């Protein structure tokens, strides 16, 4: 079996395992849309602030469910890997000809397949709430691609935690850390309109801001090469870093085994 076939096989397993947990699936689908709905309604007036970059707050927030979805689903991938270690499945898998890279990428591929389906629902939900998408039809795959790469970066980071701890609970425990990254970013307000300089500084050094701004540029500007280049650059950098650490953690785990 080639590495690609192994990735496809293990990806299918990860995908099916996730969709067989309706509670988790429902949360990952409902929460991001609910959050968009209530925040966009509650902060509708904020769009009238001088210098606000979007016509409505729902446009401004439209990109956020994609990041939420990436976070929930990618974190679940890490939790499932932690469960595989906990139950001894990974040890049994290590006795088969499956390559290490296929095990890791297969796990990530299952998560990515799932978020792509979720993104279709978020996109339709956002449009139903009155959002406008400036980049047009060609922008949709770019939006999905950038958000899915974000999911890969988060998923690979969660996998590192799973491989180091071998416990699904430990991976679940890092959820608040990702949440910090999301809330201390330009999620709710453009950085130039942040009155508090300390918060503006945190949002500026927080890479999540650039992922959000890249996604948001497709919604409210259309095609902004600078925002997209920075968004893709930051996410690809995060993926390289996260995959390097998770590969190292994988080797260490297999050596211990």
Partner 1 sequence: MIHVALAVGFRGLKKSFTNLAFVLPALMFPVIFFVGFAGALSDVDQLPGFDYAPGYETFQFGFVMLQSAAMAGVFTGFGIAQDFERGFARRLMIAAPRRSGIIVGYAITTMIRWFFNTLVVVAIGLLIGMEILGNPLELFALVLLGLLVSLIGTLWAAGVALRLRSTQAGPVMQFPIFLLIFLAPVFVPIDLLTGWIHAVASVNPFTAFIEGARSLLAGSTDEVAVAFGIAVPLAALAGIWALTGLRSAERG
- Of 43, 113, 241, 254, which one interacts with partner 1 (CB under 8 A)? 43
What count of other Cβ atoms lies within 10 Å of the Cβ of residue 221? 15
Check if the beta carbon of residue 221 is closer than 8 Å to that of residue 190.
Answer: no
Q: Which is nearer to partner 1, 140 or 193 (CB)?
A: 193
Own/partner long-range contacts of 118-122 (Cβ < 8 Å, ≥24 apart): 118/28, 118/29, 118/32, 118/69, 118/73, 119/66, 119/69, 119/143, 119/144, 119/147, 119/148, 121/29, 121/33, 122/32, 122/33, 122/36, 122/65, 122/66, 122/69
Q: Does position 38 bind partner 1 by CB under 8 A?
A: yes
Enumerate residues 58-77 that contact partner 1 by CB under 8 A: none
Query: Stretches 20-28, 97-105, 228-236, 245-253: which one binds partner 1 (CB under 8 A)?
Result: 20-28
Q: Which of 180, 182, 183, 159 is nearest to 171 (CA)?
A: 159
Stretch that binds partner 1, among 65-73, 111-119, 171-179, 238-246 (CB under 8 A): 171-179
Dihedral pair phi/psi, residue 95, rounded to 5°? -80, -10
Least distance in angstroms from the C-beta of 12 to partner 1: 27
What is the smallest separation between the CB atom of 84 and partner 1, expressed in angstroms? 21
Q: Is the dihedral of CA 90, 162, 238, 53 positive or negative?
A: positive
Rule CB under 8 A: choose which of 7, 25, 39, 85 binds partner 1.
39
Nearer to partner 1, 49 or 127 (CB): 49
Q: Is 25 or 148 the residue whose CB approaches partner 1 more closely?
A: 25
Given the complex with partner 1, which of 202 and 241 has the nearer CB atom? 202
Query: Nearer to partner 1 by C-beta: 11 or 168?
Result: 168
Cβ atoms of 78 and 162 closer than 8 Å: yes
Q: Which residues, in sequence order, are CB contacts of 106 under 8 Å at separation 6+? A: 6, 7, 8, 9, 10, 11, 13, 14
Report the candidate in 36, 53, 224 with the shortest Cα–Cα distance to residue 130.
Answer: 36
Q: Does 130 interact with partner 1 (rule: CB under 8 A)?
A: no
Cβ–Cβ < 8 Å for 215, 63:
yes
Q: Does 55 bind partner 1 (CB under 8 A)?
A: no
Q: Return the number of the residue (156 or 189) whose C-beta is nearest partner 1.
A: 189
CB of 51 to partner 1, least distance (A): 9
Name the token pair of 158: 């969660």
Closest CA to 215 of 227, 225, 204: 227
From residue 173 to residue 212, the character string flagging contacts with partner 1 as x (rule: CB under 8 A) and all else as - is x-xx--xx--xx-xxxx---xxxx-xx--xx---------
Residue from 2, 48, 97, 205 binding partner 1 (CB under 8 A): 48
What residues make contact with partner 1 under the rule CB under 8 A?
23, 26-27, 34, 38-39, 41-46, 48-49, 169, 173, 175-176, 179-180, 183-184, 186-189, 193-196, 198-199, 202-203
């Amino acid at each position: 079996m080639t590495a690609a076939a192994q990735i496809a096989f293990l990806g299918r397993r990860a995908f099916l395992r996730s969709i067989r947990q309706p509670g988790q699936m429902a949360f990952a689908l409902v929460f991001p849309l609910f959050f968009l709905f209530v925040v966009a309604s509650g902060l509708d007036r904020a769009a009238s602030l001088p210098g606000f970059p979007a016509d409505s707050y729902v446009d401004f927030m439209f990109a956020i469910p994609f990041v939420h979805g990436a976070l929930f689903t990618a974190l679940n991938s890490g939790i499932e890997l932690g469960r595989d270690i906990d139950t001894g499945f990974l040890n049994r898998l290590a006795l088969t000809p499956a390559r290490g890279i296929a095990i890791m990428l297969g796990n990530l591929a299952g998560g990515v397949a799932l978020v792509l389906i979720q993104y279709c629902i978020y996109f339709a939900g956002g449009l139903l709430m009155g959002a406008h998408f400036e980049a047009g039809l060609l922008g949709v795959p770019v939006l999905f691609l950038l958000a899915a790469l974000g999911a890969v970066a988060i998923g690979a980071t969660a996998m590192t935690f799973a491989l180091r701890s071998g416990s699904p609970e430990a991976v679940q425990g890092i959820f608040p850390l990702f949440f910090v990254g999301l809330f201390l970013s330009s999620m709710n307000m453009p950085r130039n309109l942040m009155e508090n300089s300390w918060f503006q500084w945190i949002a500026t050094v927080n890479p999540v801001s650039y992922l959000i701004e890249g996604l948001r540029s497709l919604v409210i500007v259309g095609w902004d090469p600078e925002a997209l280049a920075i968004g893709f650059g930051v996410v690809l950098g995060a993926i390289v870093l996260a995959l390097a650490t998770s590969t190292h953690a994988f080797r260490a785990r297999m050596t211990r085994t």
